[in-house]
Chain A
Amino acid sequence: TQLLEQSPQFLSIQEGENLTVYCNSSSVFSSLQWYRQEPGEGPVLLVTVVTGGEVKKLKRLTFQFGDARKDSSLHITAAQPGDTGLYLCAGGEGGSEKLVFGKGTKLTVNP
C-alpha cells in the first residue's frame, strides 16, 4: 500500500508569513493533487501535478512535484486568514482511479 506522509501536521502562523507544507512518499505516483478543506465541507481541488519537476502557481500558492514523482510541496506566500483550513495531498496510483490521501496539515493563519 502506498503511503503519503504530510508535514507538518499542524501549523499556526501570523498573517503575512510564508509557509511550506510537504508531502512525501517512498512510492512513485502518477499524479499528485492538493486539496483544501474547511470544517463541515468537502475538499476543494487546488491543483493537479503530473510531471516530475513540475511547478504550478495559483496566485500566492506554489505547488511543486518532485523530479522522481515521490514528493510534493505547497508553498504559500504572505498567508492570509482566508488561507486557514486543512490542506490534503493525494496521490494517484498508476492504473487505478483511487487516490491515496495524506493525513493533512491543519493551517491556522492569525490576523
Chain B
Amino acid sequence: GAVVSQHPSWVICKSGTSVKIECRSLDFQATTMFWYRQFPKQSLMLMATSNEGSKATYEQGVEKDKFLINHASLTLSTLTVTSAHPEDSSFYICSASTDYNEQFFGPGTRLTVL
C-alpha cells in the first residue's frame, strides 16, 4: 500500500514554456501533499505544502507565481512550472502524507529546460 505515482517521469522543454507535473496517491487519500526539489548529490528541498481544496503554502524563497500548485482532489496534486528557464532544471519529487504523518514519495520527475 501507500503508492504514489508521478507523471511524467522525465520531460524536456524549451525555455519559456510551461510544464505540468502530476502527483497521484494510488491506494489512499492524502489530505496533504508536498513538493520537493532535489539538486544532484543533495538532499530534498521542500518547495510547498499542498492541501486539498485550499491554497498551497510555499516555503521561503519559492516563487508561488512560478511554481503553481493545484490540489483538486484527495488523490491528485499538480505542479506547473511556468515560463521555465534552464535554472529550473532539476529533479522534482512529490510526497503524500497518511493519517500517521508518514510521507510516501513518488518516483520523481526529471525536468530539463533547454
How many residues of A are counted as interface, with CB atoms below 8 angstroms from the partner's CB atoms?
22
- Is A31 an interface residue, CB under 8 A from the partner? yes
- Contact residues in B for A30 (Cβ distance below 8 Å): 101
Tell me the residues in window 93-111 of chain A with beta carbons closer than 8 Å to chain B beta carbons.
97-99, 101-104, 106
Complex CA gap A98/B35 in Å reads 11
Q: Is the interface of B mostly helix, strand, loop or mixed?
A: strand
How many residues of B are counted as interface, with CB atoms below 8 angstroms from the partner's CB atoms?
25
Shortest A80–chain B CB gap in Å is 23
Complex CA gap A82/B42 in Å reads 21
Quick one: which of B44, B46, B102, B110 contacts A33, CB cutoff 8 A? B102
Complex CA gap A37/B46 in Å reads 16
Complex CA gap A88/B42 in Å reads 10
Query: Are B93 and A97 interface neighbours, CB within 8 A?
Result: no
Quick one: which of B44, B46, B97, B100 contacts A43, CB cutoff 8 A? B44
Query: Are A42 and B107 interface neighbours, CB within 8 A?
Result: yes
Taking A42-B108, A97-B32 as contacts, is the C-beta distance between A88 and B46 under 8 angstroms? Answer: no
Query: Are B105 and A44 interface neighbours, CB within 8 A?
Result: yes
Query: Are A101 and B43 interface neighbours, CB within 8 A?
Result: yes
- Contact residues in A for B106 (Cβ distance below 8 Å): 42
Query: Are A43 and B105 interface neighbours, CB within 8 A?
Result: yes
Query: Are A45 and B104 interface neighbours, CB within 8 A?
Result: yes
Query: Are A103 and B97 interface neighbours, CB within 8 A?
Result: no
